[in-house]
Structure 1
């Protein structure tokens, strides 16, 4: 019996057979590109026939067909192109691990939908699908929240105590944290989530103005106050443009 990886490969292979990869990204509407719309329109029918000889569960086949149909459906036929295999393959591999109707599944769907669209395909980087796979649900929600507030960031303000004898700052205390928590499953793990998002190169908490010393006028400094905000990196911004599902 074939493996689930074989199924994803078979789906990608069938798409390649319908429209040659080398033709999909040519400038202008070559005959092959003009035919792409009808080929993808008939995808739901043809893919079932192509996969029929493979011994996969009907539920898994149905999920791939439904997912791909949803990705293509909203794109005008004249703009439909074949996604690059390094984008299509990882997406098909990843969705079998995700429940349906979640934010992460929607991100995969939006990413593949843009890859099918000749006007948006250039904005889909091959690294995006593997990045989505590394996100927890809460991290996806945090990225969505930060992206929704690009022009007016969520602020993060904290203080540190200052020890004159050791010349060190310690004991951080958060004074202000505006990041929404109502949708998060584990809001107490925000710091861990942000550390992970920073390692992925997507988002971080960045200081945006100088620290303020804390202490009475004329007295020794007893601490400092830092002013920071949640923000996407330049790469994280492009990632969210490609993967963030449109608001409804």
Structure 2
């Protein structure tokens, strides 16, 4: 905003200092100045909803108080301890700008509750705060359904070219995001890749013995439409079948941040 105002002031100064061509230069400068002020106003309007989403300390305190009372209601009073600062402080800070996302604030609340129960406080690793900050609400929904010993089907769709070479058309395609009501299900592959990057799941280059588990993926409209494009180009395609599952680290994250401790 300061830069925009400085630019507008500079333009006004230039206009006043050029009396030689008042009919030519000044109107153009005035219009440019108006444009900058209009841009500043537009930027302000675009940013205004953000300020409403940033939680105040009182809002955070109220949410934490109510949420923790519910989550710790069945924990013996003698087991309730002060949370470790390395967990509580960054969690509270993150809630300032992520508290409006229900799935993420629930994870933060679970992490705090875990850190306040002396019997399981050691499970509340400080790194979990940073992991939650790197998740979307849709990814949080997906994480609730992925289990350690439950191997989930996933496929790649490749376009075959000359010889044995190929190019990947769709990578890490899954349909779990459609069954749980994700806001942006078309980003399912990106969600899986991010969760895998964070070490919460692992994608294995093996496939399920029962190939019928892949039928819904292979016959999904997204895959069928891409196959048609490949065939329309006179090329062949290949579908590779894989699995993914929760890692042991992902299980620790689940126990501390997702699982209901009550």
SS at match of 1:170: strand
The answer to whether residue 144 in structure 2 is matched with residue 144 in structure 1 is: yes
Which one scores higher on RCO, CA 8 angstroms, separation ≥ 6? Answer: 2
Name the stretch that deviates more: 80-89 or 195-204.
Answer: 195-204
Q: Is the 8 A contact 1:160 1:224 kept in 2?
A: yes
- 1:247 deviates by 9.6
C-alpha distance after superposition, 1:181-201 (max 9, x if no partner): 142000001122222223322
Aligned counterpart, 1:82: 82
Give the whole-Å Cα distance in 1 for the aligned partners of 2:261 and 2:101: 14
- For residues 143 and 99 of structure 1, do their structure 2 counterparts lie closer, same or farther at Cα, with a shift above 3 Å needed? same
Q: Is the 8 A contact 1:194 1:205 kept in 2?
A: no
Structure 2 gaps, min length 5: 1-55, 209-235
Q: Is the 8 A contact 1:110 1:244 kept in 2?
A: yes
Aligned counterpart, 2:39: none
Aligned counterpart, 2:7: none
- 1:111 deviates by 1.0
Aligned counterpart, 1:231: 245
- 1:70 deviates by 4.0
Name the stretch that deviates more: 84-93 or 154-163.
Answer: 154-163
Name the TM-score, length of structure 1 as normaliser: 0.60
2:166 alignment partner, one of 164, 169, 172: 169
User: Higher strand fraction: Structure 1 or Structure 2?
Assistant: 1
What is the aligned-residue RMSD (CA, Å)? 3.2
- For residues 175 and 188 of structure 1, do their structure 2 counterparts lie closer, same or farther at Cα, with a shift above 3 Å needed? closer
State the aligned residue count: 179
C-alpha distance after superposition, 1:85-130 (max 9, x if no partner): 1011111112232346822111111111111111111111110112
SS at match of 2:243: strand
Q: Is the 8 A contact 1:194 1:204 kept in 2?
A: no
Name the stretch that deviates more: 180-189 or 194-203.
Answer: 194-203
C-alpha distance after superposition, 1:131-185 (max 9, x if no partner): 11221101111111213xx3332211344343343x3122546898342414200
1:197 alignment partner, one of 195, 198, 209: 195
Give the whole-Å Cα distance in 1 for the aligned partners of 2:245 and 2:172: 18
Structural mapping, 1:91-130, within 5 Å: 91-99=91-99, 102-130=102-130
Name the TM-score, length of structure 2 as normaliser: 0.58
Aligned counterpart, 1:208: 206
- For residues 141 and 247 of structure 1, do their structure 2 counterparts lie closer, same or farther at Cα, with a shift above 3 Å needed? farther
- 1:64 deviates by 4.4
4+ residue runs of structure 1 moved beyond 4 angstroms? 56-61, 173-176
SS at match of 2:160: strand
SS at match of 1:96: helix
Aligned counterpart, 1:244: 258
Structure 1 gaps, min length 5: 1-55, 211-221
SS at match of 1:208: coil
Give the whole-Å Cα distance in 1 for the aligned partners of 2:83 and 2:60: 21
Q: Is the 8 A contact 1:155 1:179 kept in 2?
A: no
Aligned counterpart, 1:181: 178
Aligned counterpart, 1:63: 63
